[in-house]
């Protein structure tokens, strides 16, 4: 004695149709992505689809460059890009030469002048006074906003 299955409108319905036998089509395993990127930790969609700025040659060069620095505690951008280190004295650009027309000479002169200005105790005192004033102003404005 069991309850029969009730159909629409709460009336007994006929037996349900047998489910069709499930047939799965065998799919050939595609391994292109695995073959191309199998040993990489991550890939981008640009790498996968080969679009935009992805250049496999440039990626290989960058990877080789990084291998040169394995175990190094730090590297400079000049070392990474294979540029010569800036040695101002060997290039004839002492830090006090303001008459050199090259961009490196102007940069060195500006760096030297700025270092001397920032080392001046009066400039340091002025910077500290400005900082203290800014903090006081911030406190004052915070108090004003709390009172409203």
Q: Is residue 20 part of a domain?
A: no
Q: Is residue 57 part of a domain?
A: yes
Q: Is residue 80 part of a domain?
A: no
Print the domain residue range for 53: 30-69
Q: Is residue 95 part of a domain?
A: no
Q: Is-contact 109 98, C-beta < 8 A?
A: yes
Domain total for the chain?
Answer: 2
Closest of 39, 56, 38 to residue 47, by C-alpha = 56
Q: Is residue 77 part of a domain?
A: no
Whether the pLDDT of residue 136 is over 90: the answer is yes
pTM, 2 dp: 0.28
Q: Using one digit for the tens of pLDDT, what is the confidence trace for 23-73?
A: 776 666 777 777 877 887 877 777 777 766 667 787 788 788 888 888 888
């Amino acid at each position: 004695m069991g309850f029969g299955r009730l159909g629409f409108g709460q009336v007994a319905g006929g037996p349900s149709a047998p489910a069709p036998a499930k047939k799965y089509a065998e799919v050939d395993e595609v391994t292109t992505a695995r073959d191309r990127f199998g040993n990489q930790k991550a890939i981008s969609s640009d790498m996968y689809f080969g679009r935009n700025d992805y250049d496999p040659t440039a990626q290989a060069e960058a990877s080789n460059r990084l291998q040169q620095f394995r175990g190094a505690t730090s590297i400079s951008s000049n070392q990474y890009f294979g540029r010569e280190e800036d040695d101002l004295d060997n290039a004839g650009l002492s830090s006090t030469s303001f008459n050199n027309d090259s961009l490196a000479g102007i940069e060195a002169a500006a760096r030297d002048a700025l270092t001397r200005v920032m080392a001046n105790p009066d400039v340091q005192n002025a910077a500290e006074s400005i900082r203290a004033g800014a903090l006081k102003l911030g406190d004052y404005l915070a108090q004003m906003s709390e009172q409203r």
